[in-house]
Amino acid sequence: MDPRDIETAVLETEKARITVLSIGCAIQAWEVKSRPHRSVVLGYGNPADYIANPVAMGIVIGRVANRISGGRFTLDGQTHTLPRNAGPDHIHGGPGGFGWRNWRMERDGSRAVRLTLTSEDGDQGYPGKAEASVTMTLDGAALRYDMKVTVDRPSPVNLAQHSYFNLMGDGDVMDHVLQLRASNYTPNGPDLIPLGKVAPVDGTIYDFRKPRRLGLADPDREGSDANVVLDPGEGPAATLTAPDGLRLRLWTDQPGLQVYSSVTLGPHGTPMPGPRHLPFAALCLEAQGYPDALNKGFPASIATPDAPYTQTTTIEIA
């Protein structure tokens, strides 16, 4: 990919200014105007660094987010083999997944942008041709993602935004307070592949049913990287609060949320001014379907010609 082909759109209101790149629908910067000169997401200063982007910085992941064990799945009696780009497993749609592709960008004034991508049959091993669209709309302090994928034959589809949030703009994120509308989670094995069961969060580092400081939940800093199962309800799925009171709230129509405390994050490329790219420098809150669903018996997100994949996720920071 030629870095000169990467386009930029700036969404701006009286409360926020967000820089979006065409590569991977990446959010490069998110400035909150009540906190001047502070970006609340990690990003690369050079858009060309998003071409490699080994940590999925700020992108929209697809065709399927998270891990698929063994790099294969069976759908309608046919087994599909995928690139194994995480040891023996497949992660985040493969090395040429949606997040590492340059999308077509259509700006709609100063508050919305629509990005579209065509993924051909067999792309990264997935069946069927897929037409994906992601529309980002900034309303005041809230950014809404409207995602849609149409296919010409059944295919798993599970998109996820993968921004790294640090509401203080720098330092350790473990002083933030998190609350999740989640009583259960899908525990992983040591390879970060789900074990295939749903378990209560009680007594785990994923118990944020009440507001809890990240460092208190994980005093040994083992790091979080698992999917919580969201409870039914109308309120935010997640609320993250910084020490100075700046607050993130996330709403989604997805059944799960990957909670990742950037435990393995390291320096890659040239960071934007502000947050450093270090372990525990940020928190990812990735709205998604069940991970490794087809291999573990979880409800799977399967798009068909008659039933496209859709997701609506809204993130407000104020």
Three-state SS for 216-279 is HHCCCCCCCEEEEECCCCCCCCEEEECCCCCEEEEEECCCEEEEECCCCCCCCCCECCCCCCCC
Exactly one of 90, 92, 277, 286 is catalytic; which is it? Answer: 286
The residue extents of the domains of the chain are 3-173+259-317
Nearest alpha-carbon partner for 87 in 191, 226, 196:
191
Name the 3-class secondary structure at 123: helix
Query: pTM above the 0.85 mark?
Result: yes
- Known catalytic residue: 286? yes
Fold of domain 3-173+259-317: Beta-galactosidase; Chain A, domain 5 (2.70.98)
- 257 pLDDT more than 90: yes
What percent of the chain is modeled with pLDDT above 90?
A: 96
Q: Do the Cβ atoms of 23 and 30 come closer than 8 Å? A: no
Q: What is the mean pLDDT of residues 256-283?
A: 92
Identify the pLDDT of residue 274: 72
Q: Each residue of 163-184: pLDDT tens digit?
A: 999 999 999 999 999 999 999 9
Instruction: Take residue 120 and report the two structure tokens written for it.
Output: 């051909």
- 303 pLDDT more than 80: yes
Pairing of strands 78-81, 72-75: antiparallel
Exactly one of 80, 92, 162, 176 is catalytic; which is it? Answer: 162
Taking CA atoms, 239 is separated from 4, 27, 208, 245, in Å, by 37, 20, 10, 12
Q: Each residue of 67-93: pLDDT tens digit?
A: 999 999 999 999 999 999 999 999 999
